């Protein structure tokens, strides 16, 4: 694996479980979709075949082939999803620099966000259902804008790394925002 490393990612790495988690969570939608397509279109195709004057044995043969290829289609989608998630995992880049936080992700349509520490409005850590199953944590950040909430998050770290990242980020933000009291009161 050729991972897009930064000093921060070396110290607080993403978990490899993230690839499996993302593969499963995104394949579930596909599986449900394929299931319903099968339920809706299966009888229609069967009906169409029976109205044509085709021998029954050939219809059964076609249906058998469909039954055989359907799971294989699913497996191909699964494999492609896994490869894509692996690629995504490899190219995920986040770096904590002196002045800015930089997050860059998505191998096909890259999105890179740069946030100065002073502008960070909140830092929060969350887990969804699959994160709980795999023991992963997402660290989110946001400035006062909508798009920052969409782009700025570090997903799929282990507990230690998530805690470490949170502490580090809070420390950075605190150091940057705090200043002598007289200056604020004036």
Partner 1 sequence: MNSVASSITHPISFFWTFKKPLGFICMYGLFFIGIIIFVLILIASETNKPFPISMIAFITIFLTIILAFIFLTIFIFEYLLRKNFGFSVGEDFFIFNQGIISKEQKNLPYGAIQNIIITQDILDRILGLHNLVIENAASSGGLGMVYKQNSKYPLSIGFYGNTAIIPGLTKDNSEELKKIILNKMKTKSFNDDRSGL
User: Interface residues with partner 1 (CB under 8 A)?
Assistant: 99-100, 108-116, 118-119, 121, 143-148, 150-152, 176-177, 183-184, 186
Min dist CB 1 to partner 1, Å, is 23
136 versus 152: smaller Cβ distance to partner 1: 152
**SS3 label, residue 104:** strand
- Phi and psi at residue 63, in whole multiples of 5°? -60, -40
Q: How many CA atoms lie within 13 A of 94 on its CB side?
A: 23
Distance, CA of 185 to CA of 103 (rounded, Å):
35
27 versus 173: smaller Cβ distance to partner 1: 173
1 versus 185: smaller Cβ distance to partner 1: 185
Min dist CB 116 to partner 1, Å, is 6
> Do the beta carbons of residue 42 and residue 67 sit within 8 Å?
no
Residues 6+ apart with CB under 8 A from 170: 123
Pick the closest to residue 125 from 145, 103, 100, 153 (CA basis). Answer: 153
62 versus 147: smaller Cβ distance to partner 1: 147
Task: Count CB atoms within 10 A of the CB of residue 117.
Answer: 18
Min dist CB 143 to partner 1, Å, is 4
Min dist CB 121 to partner 1, Å, is 8
39 versus 52: smaller Cβ distance to partner 1: 52
Distance, CA of 9 to CA of 101 (rounded, Å):
12
Min dist CB 172 to partner 1, Å, is 13
């Amino acid at each position: 694996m050729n991972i897009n490393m930064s000093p921060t990612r070396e110290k607080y790495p993403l978990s490899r479980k993230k690839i499996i988690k993302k593969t499963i969570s995104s394949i579930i939608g596909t599986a449900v979709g394929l299931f319903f397509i099968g339920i809706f279109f299966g009888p229609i195709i069967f009906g169409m075949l029976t109205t044509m004057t085709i021998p029954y044995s050939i219809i059964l043969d076609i249906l058998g082939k469909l039954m055989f290829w359907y799971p294989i289609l699913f497996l191909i989608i699964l494999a492609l999803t896994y490869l894509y998630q692996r690629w995504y995992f490899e190219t995920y880049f986040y770096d904590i620099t002196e002045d800015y936080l930089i997050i860059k992700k998505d191998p096909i349509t890259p999105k890179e966000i740069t946030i100065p520490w002073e502008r960070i409005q909140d830092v929060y850590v969350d887990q969804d259902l699959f994160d709980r199953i795999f023991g992963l944590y997402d660290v989110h950040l946001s400035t006062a804008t909508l798009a920052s909430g969409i782009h700025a998050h570090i997903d799929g770290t282990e507990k230690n790394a998530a805690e470490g990242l949170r502490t580090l980020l809070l420390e950075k933000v605190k150091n940057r925002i705090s200043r002598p009291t007289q200056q604020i009161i004036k």
